[in-house]
Structure 1
Amino acid sequence: MHTLTPAHLMPWTVASPFRMQPGLSRLLPATDAAQPPVSPPPLFLRDAQAPAYAAQKQAVLQTHHERALVGQAEPAVLQAIAAAYAAQTGVALAPTAQALALGLQEDLVVLHDEPDAMRTRWLSVCFPSNWSPADKLGLDFSAIHAPVADNALLQAGGKGIVDMAFRQASMLRHVWLLTPSGDLPQHPETRRTRWADAEAQADTSGQRLLEQVFFRVERQTTLPLPALQRGVFFIRVMVCPLLAVLQVAPARAAELHAALASMTEAVVAYRGMAGVRPRLLAELDALQTTGA
């Protein structure tokens, strides 16, 4: 079993100039009468990698249960999540924290609608992208995104984002990353392949650094539960070797080059790529020239 997503199924939302921004869209059917009806994007993604994801989650929960499941889960919220999952996928999961943590390919965060703000009160996160779930418990939107570089657009729209996505309508957002590790779980306290390791491997093997890089996408969706004064945030992590993703469409190398080149120094540092961006840009430039 493997957890890599096939390249042609990886979402591609790379654009330039790169900006840290909400980028939200509603999970609703298209309403353009001139176009044929299109099914809305699903709240959940369940695919052929489901057994492998469950095995990876089981391994995380066996070794770092306290890092992955944080806070207190409520039976009514768990029941609502299980019902939504069954309605969309046809897969019935027990409405327990353990069953949902293992059965969903998504990680999830439950927020409580409290008098001052919506705050995180339960996190089931086995596959964090270099952040600690325990650090996010009890925080509101502003505090969660405070460490993010160039976060002005996110913070300015924070109140509206929370109201729309967690009180009114299910929403979709994609966040893409470049990482030297193909692992789904990337907790900051876990030793995994670092950029220095990837550079050393590329130099030792005579390969390009691009051949050591993975394209990582967080497919983020929301489920408002206003009757319970709760909202749920789902994170489906998808990973694929970068070169395979670039080969899906001829323009992608140029699009990624433009996005990387347009990132501010603060964003590059936040994403841990300060030492490798020049090399990645040079190799992407060469890739556009040679096509191989």
Structure 2
Amino acid sequence: MPALTPAHAMPWTVSSPFRMHPGLKRLPVAPEVPPLFVRDALAADYAADKAAVLRGLGPNALPGEAEPAVLQAIAQAYAAQTGVQLDATPEALVGGMQEDFVVLHDEPAGMRTRFLAVCFPSNWNPAEKLGLDFSAIHAPVADNGLLQAGAHGIVDMAFRKASMLRHVWLLTPGADLSQHPDTRRTRWEDALRQAAHSPSGRLLDQVNFRVERQTTLPLPALKRGVFFIRVMVCGLLDVLAVAPGRAAELREALHSMTDAVVHYRGMLAVRERLLCELDALG
């Protein structure tokens, strides 16, 4: 069974009109909320899911090479916040942290990815991102003008100066933490078939709310930076029930998405139905 985050613990950052933008917030220096890492009762489930992903991907599971000094810095930061001591090895950090992480090197040509420990990508292949800078990584993203225009400032602030926080939310037909494009998983056509054979006949019953909680750790003394991705998934209807008005907020956000964004997120065939069902929820 997928490791599902309780609905009340899911970040809700849905807003309208929807725009692809940096949305970065500076993390406080003091050890207060929001933290750099999120460790909860699902840690063992995340470790099991990561182990399964690593077995499935084999030699391509962790592209690049991580330096001992960077791994030590990650382990120290994790222990300082969570109290959990992890060995400073790729295997121990990958299995012990619920976050995925990417190590970037500050080179003459800019920050570039040199190690990717990403077990739970959201429909992208980590091996294809090795050696790329911020602009190249986000080139496939729809309506990426704001991201690309702010690329230099984003990288400078988040990976050289201060820890930052960003949330990215998605709607997915499957609850699996790993949404690797080369791995068979539940797709929207599957969800439509499941809805057709369900008692309610409602597509929303099959939809999950997925959030990437993204944080950064600058390591300027090492000329390195680390990007953490904490994936959280929960059934959409459970998340909508946490607070009144969420169904309407999500409907407005979906309605305001450009066709390019809807296509990029793979929802062209289901958006209108989702809008109608969200409207019926009131």
TM-score (structure 1 length as normaliser): 0.94
- Structure 2 counterpart of 1:42, from 26, 30, 35: 35
**Secondary structure class of the residue paired with 1:88:** helix
1:104 corresponds to 2:97: yes
Corresponding residue number in structure 2 for 1:35: none
In structure 2, what residue type is equivalent to 1:12?
W
Structure 2 counterpart of 1:211: 205
Native 8 Å contact 1:22 1:154 kept in 2: yes
Aligned residues: 281
Partners of 2:58 and 2:160 in 1: CA distance: 30
Kept in 1: contact 2:26–2:164 (CA 8 A):
yes
3-state SS of paired residue (1:91): coil
Moved over 3 A (4+): none
Q: Supply the AA of the counterpart residue of 2:195.
A: A
C-alpha contact 2:2 2:177 (8 A) present in aligned 1: no
Q: Distance in 1 between matches of 2:198 and 2:32?
A: 46
Corresponding position: 1:226 with 2:220: yes
Larger deviation: 65-74 or 143-152? 65-74
1:158 aligns with 2:157: no
Q: Alpha-carbon deviation of 1:260?
A: 0.1
Q: SS of the counterpart of 1:129?
A: coil
Aligned counterparts of 1:16 and 1:29: Cα–Cα separation in 2: 30
1:135-154 to 2 correspondence within 5 Å?
Answer: 135-154=128-147
Alpha-carbon displacement from aligned partner over 1:201-233 (angstroms, at most 9, x marks no partner): 101124210000000000000000000000000
Residue aligned with 1:205, SS: coil
Counterpart of 1:263 in structure 2 is 257
- Pair 2,263 (structure 1): closer, same or farther in 2 beyond 3 Å: closer
- Taking the aligned partners of 1:2 and 1:269, their CA distance within structure 2 comes to 26
CA 1:17 to 1:188, structure 2 compared with 1: closer, same or farther past 3 Å?
A: same
Matched residue type, 1:205: S
CA-to-aligned-CA distance 1:144-201 (integer Å, 9 cap, x gap): 0000000000000000000000000000000000000000011000011100000011
**Conserved in 2, the CA contact under 8 Å of 1:218 and 1:235?**
yes
What residue in structure 2 maps to residue 175 of structure 1? 168
Contact 1:67 1:132 in 2 (8 A): no
2:97 & 2:125 partners in 1: Cα distance?
Answer: 20
Q: Which whole-Å CA distance do the structure 2 matches of 1:227 and 1:165 have between them?
A: 15
Q: What is the RMSD of the two structures over their aligned residues, measured on CA atoms?
A: 1.2
How far apart in 2 are the matches of 1:2 and 1:158? 34
Q: 1:249 aligns with which of 232, 243, 247?
A: 243
- Give me the identity figure in percent: 74
Query: Secondary structure of the residue that 2:91 maps to in structure 1?
Result: helix
The range that moved more, 202-211 or 63-72, is 63-72
Give the distance between the partners of 1:148 and 1:75, measured in 2 at CA.
32
Contact 1:221 1:233 (8 Å CA) reproduced: yes
Match of 1:28 in 2: 28
The answer on 1:80 being equivalent to 2:73 is yes
Per the TM alignment, residue 29 of structure 1 is displaced from its structure 2 partner at its CA by: 5.9
Q: Distance in 1 between matches of 2:124 and 2:2?
A: 23
Three-state SS of the structure 2 residue aligned to 1:69 is coil
- The CA distance in 2 between the partners of 1:260 and 1:211, in whole Å, is 17
Once the two structures are superposed, what CA deviation does each residue of 1:227-265 show, in whole Å capped at 9, x if it has no partner? Answer: 000000000000000000000011100000000000000
How big is the shift at 1:62? 1.6
Alignment partner of 1:275 is 2:269: yes
Task: Determine the C-alpha separation between the residues in 2 that align with 1:67 and 1:148.
Answer: 23
Q: Which runs of 5+ in 2 are unaligned?
A: none
3-state SS in 2 of match to 1:147: coil
| SS class of match (1:14) | coil
Unaligned runs of 5+ in 1: 31-37
TM-score (norm 2): 0.98
